[in-house]
Chains A and B, each alone.
Chain A
């Protein structure tokens, strides 16, 4: 059963928070909604959960309408699991009692064991209280609790953001495995684009209360609908470019075009990812001077400035041992691998200004 959100809008008082949201989440898939803080993504999740009601639009699960004008299924009858940012574990209940909270009495103990195993929770934790658990364990208990009643959909609200880096990755992997094994339809919201891209089958981008793009992680990362989305999904190198036959000319020389989203604008910018750019001994096509080198353990961030008509700042993260010969002031050659996405220059203004400084 697909989760379908169509034309949903929501305001708090006079402040519009969500504007005409449309999203389809296929049964059994995992979709991540990514956006910066305050963009409205948590509100969308709470609308799906039923904690608040939309002003306009409809939310349905398969043929069941959950929320439509004048019709609202309350949260407890939606069969939608919810994992809050801090886990929201009941502090007065043990792990087992937390997990079994939403499950009918019959078969509860059995189900608690199942979901604890599913979420890789050691059975000995069952009698502990939430404050006796680590942050990662708390989040897995929260997921186990949400999965125990076999919901059709599970919603995850930034469930990993409170964890430290190492723990975050391990917990995320464990959660993804558990969700995969249970086959539950999942919607995750996050502000971390890496998390969004690695989470599952779909990514939806939210900016200021709208969902301008959704699709597979590859398409959203590789073919962002706008410069804003491109920048939200990862570091960008934006190059003022001149359209020529079979490509564009830029500070990095001639680049092929993967996608043209310039809409025929006269003046365009070419977006490439830093990972596409590499240093080379050959400086015949593009020369750049080294402006700074900063070592961060095994890697180094090299700040470069292209020479030529439109000097552009590019910062590359390279293995440290590749950068030992680079001194500030040295000149290096750059090559580009793969093509660019074109946008109207007018849409890139703010990013270009940043770069020219």
Chain B
């Protein structure tokens, strides 16, 4: 039973969506401003061809590899009698705590010759496979084991069950995880810059550094934005009418575990190798270098921590404020309109951070110079980039606060506003806190938008790390790298707990 949303709520959401779509507007405006002929001159170059082939190749190769790694490890730790499953279930999520650019720096310091597409694939797939692992794990936990039992009783072997029953049910998790990986690959700058692998994003940063926010950066941005939209379109087509939904009811009993038998040592070996490559290799040198760090740096580190905390906190608050009305509209008044508005949000936040940053530089300079190089603008970028984290968490939280509770409070004589303050908000608080934490920790790791937009004099952990690492100052970069990893751990723990708790 749906009621129509109030006019004010709709107006708020529409205004927010329009705000969120500023980067999309920038891309369109840039296309028009530059004009077809100049755009063609800028884009029809061998160099752009190289970038395109690099970018497309890393998508075509990287996404399937992360899917295999992510689904494979999820299946091993959740559905087999693998010894040490619990340990490996944590090992497989751990790479998320290491920002990809830190991991890339770690790899480059161990093997300086890592470079190009191969290097990009190595670093990126190891950094991103947990993004597929987590949804796959959640789905596997929620799967009704009776489906597999039925298949078994119909005479299917384990392998066939995996392929014909389990994997098809993982379709949404695979598509969702694959989409996120693809968008990350498109947006990645730091990790690729370290190992001399050029994609559109790295080229845009170089173009920005060469000509500021000029036509050459914008024209590459247009192509990158198009690629993002194509990726979104492919995912939407493959998903069809199915929706991502949190399955409310848990599986009634745990599934029977598949016996690995003689394959167990092989599985342990595989997971151990992946885990080592993804965490131990990149971190060993970082930790080693941190002992060589000049203690005077600690003062700078402290300053960077303060700046980082303030910026990411304001990003988190902003993202909650912006996500709440849409989450409310989507859960309480689901309709075609609310889905369209939500779609607007998701398109905006699928654009790589570098485009968001370019757009905000251009827009603030030309339209609102007062906002140029202010905390407000960085905050806006964080909101646009990390909104999905807040939106998903708040939506799930709101869905768990049934409207009937508010109605009960009203029937007991509380006006609607008070009913919400006393019932919905307290119940929503854990979701608000989780959403805030996820956005804040994402913002703390953010590099590209922060580099372009931060107010003069601002130093975040990520920008300081970048500045030291760019001049190959390993001891100087190490403490920032370690701080970034330590900061990320709570967010990853939170994500992991959400994944596990949701279904059991």
Contact = CB atoms under 8 A, between A and B. Distances in A.
Touch between A and B in complex, CB under 8 Å?
Answer: yes
Interface of A: 12, 43, 46, 49-52, 74-82, 84, 86, 88, 90-92, 101-102, 142, 145-146, 148-149, 155
Contacts of A149: 412-413
B411 A49 contact: yes
B415 A76 contact: yes
A43 B3 CA distance: 12
Contacts of A76: 409-416, 419
B-side interface mostly: helix
A51 B408 contact: no
A86 B426 contact: no
Given A88-B405, A90-B405, A146 B411 contact: yes
B404 interface: yes
Interface string B384-413: 000000000000000000101101111111
Contacts of B1: 12, 43
A52 B426 CA distance: 25
Given A12-B1, A91-B427, A92-B427, A86 B404 contact: yes
A74 B412 CA distance: 12
A64 to B, nearest CB: 15
Contacts of B493: none
B426 A92 contact: yes
B402 A102 contact: no
A75 B408 CA distance: 10
Contacts of B280: none
Interface string B117-143: 000000000000000000000000000
A81 B427 CA distance: 22
Interface in B399-450: 402, 404-405, 407-416, 419, 422-423, 426-427
Nearest to B426: A92
Contacts of B413: 76-77, 79, 102, 149
Interface residues of B, number: 21
Contact of B414 (A78, A84, A102): A102
Contacts of B408: 82, 84, 88, 90, 142, 145
20 contacts: A12-B2, A49-B407, A50-B411, A52-B3, A75-B410, A75-B411, A76-B412, A76-B414, A76-B416, A76-B419, A79-B413, A88-B407, A88-B408, A90-B408, A90-B427, A91-B427, A101-B414, A101-B422, A102-B411, A146-B412
Contact of A51 (B410, B412, B414): B410
A81 B405 contact: no
Contact of A81 (B411, B423, B426): B411
B427 A75 contact: no
Contacts of A81: 411-412
Contacts of A80: 411
Given A52-B3, A91-B427, A92-B426, A74 B410 contact: yes
Contacts of A101: 409, 412, 414, 422
B413 to A, nearest CB: 5
Contacts of B410: 50-51, 74-76
Contacts of A51: 407, 410
- Nearest 10 interchain pairs by C-beta: A102-B412, A82-B411, A75-B410, A88-B404, A88-B408, A76-B410, A84-B404, A102-B413, A76-B413, A76-B415
Contacts of A78: 411
Contact of A74 (B404, B415, B423, B426): B415
Contacts of B414: 76, 101-102
A74 B414 CA distance: 10
Looking at B402, B407, B412, B423, which has the most chain A CB atoms within 10 Å of its CB? B412
Nearest to B415: A76
Interface in B457-492: none
Nearest to A42: B1
A217 to B, nearest CB: 27
A148 B405 CA distance: 17
Contacts of A90: 405, 408-409, 423, 427
Contacts of B415: 74, 76
A296 B426 CA distance: 50
B3 A88 contact: no
A182 to B, nearest CB: 16
Given A51-B407, A76-B409, 16 more contacts: A12-B1, A12-B2, A43-B1, A50-B411, A52-B3, A76-B413, A78-B411, A81-B412, A82-B408, A86-B404, A88-B404, A90-B423, A101-B409, A102-B413, A102-B414, A146-B412
B411 to A, nearest CB: 4
Contacts of B419: 76
Nearest to B411: A82
Contacts of B404: 84, 86, 88
Contacts of B2: 12
Looking at A74, A76, A82, which has the most chain B CB atoms within 10 Å of its CB? A76
Nearest to B400: A91
A82 B405 CA distance: 11
B427 to A, nearest CB: 6
Contacts of B423: 90
Contacts of A142: 408
Contacts of A84: 404, 407-408
A80 B413 CA distance: 9
Interface in B33-59: none
B5 to A, nearest CB: 14
B57 to A, nearest CB: 49
Nearest to B418: A76
Contacts of B402: 86, 88
Interface in B191-242: none
Contacts of A102: 409, 411-414
A46 B404 CA distance: 11
A175 B46 CA distance: 81
Contacts of B3: 52
Looking at A49, A81, A88, which has the most chain B CB atoms within 10 Å of its CB? A88
A50 B408 CA distance: 11
Nearest to A154: B411
B3 to A, nearest CB: 7
A145 B423 CA distance: 15
Contacts of A145: 408, 412
B114 to A, nearest CB: 52
Contacts of B422: 101
A8 B498 CA distance: 46
B403 to A, nearest CB: 9
A145 to B, nearest CB: 7
A61 B117 CA distance: 76
B500 to A, nearest CB: 19
A77 B413 CA distance: 6
Nearest to A145: B412
Contacts of B416: 74, 76
Contact of B407 (A12, A75, A92, A148): A75
A8 to B, nearest CB: 17
Nearest to A86: B404
Interface in B16-36: none
